[in-house]
């Protein structure tokens, strides 16, 4: 009797294992093909370019100030030296603050994209009745590739 119950349990587990459906998704492909990623990259590129232009202008101002100070030679006052050093410190702070701001903005936008991606994966997995969804690189064989369906879902979510 115990053998029969054990065999029934094993058979049930085997049937459940066969009924498992695994979805496979390539998240890197999703990220790079998603239109909002391209828009984010373009926006960050524009901001970086604008910051570069501002930085160049500030560097030119500093160079002019440095030339003026060198031209005065020994007649340079301590006040003028301090003003020059203060401008250098302000420029360094500007660069640091700008980098932090850009990094925060990029991280926030990437988090938004990742949220959209996760919601799309969940929705497609449910519609495809997938029991599990794995990263494409983790699966050597088998599974149903749902990457294109997830991308389409992500684009719809705009």
pTM, two decimals, is 0.71
Residues of the chain by 3-state class (helix, strand, coil), percent to 5 = 80, 5, 10
Chain centroid to CA 57: 30
State the pLDDT confidence band at 2, using cuts at 50, 70 and 90: low
pLDDT of 33 > 90? The answer is yes
* Length in residues, the chain: 158
CA distance 102 to 120: 27
Residue 130: the pLDDT is 93
Average pLDDT over residues 20-29: 93
| pLDDT (tens digit per residue) in 80-136 | 889 889 999 999 999 999 999 999 999 999 999 999 999 999 999 999 999 999 999
């Amino acid at each position: 009797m115990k053998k029969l119950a054990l065999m029934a349990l094993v058979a049930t587990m085997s049937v459940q294992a066969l009924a498992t459906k695994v979805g496979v998704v390539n998240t890197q492909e999703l990220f790079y093909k998603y239109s909002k990623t391209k828009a984010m990259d373009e926006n960050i590129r524009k901001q970086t370019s604008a910051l570069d232009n501002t930085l160049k202008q500030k560097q030119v101002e500093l160079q002019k100030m440095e030339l003026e100070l060198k031209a005065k030679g020994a007649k340079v006052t301590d006040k003028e030296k301090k003003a020059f050093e203060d401008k250098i410190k302000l420029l360094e702070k500007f660069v640091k603050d700008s980098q932090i701001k850009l990094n925060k903005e990029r991280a926030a936008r990437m988090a938004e994209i990742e949220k959209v991606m996760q919601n799309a994966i969940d929705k497609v997995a449910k519609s495809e009745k997938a029991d599990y969804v794995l990263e494409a690189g983790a699966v050597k064989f088998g599974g149903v590739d749902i990457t294109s369906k997830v991308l389409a879902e992500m684009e719809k979510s705009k």
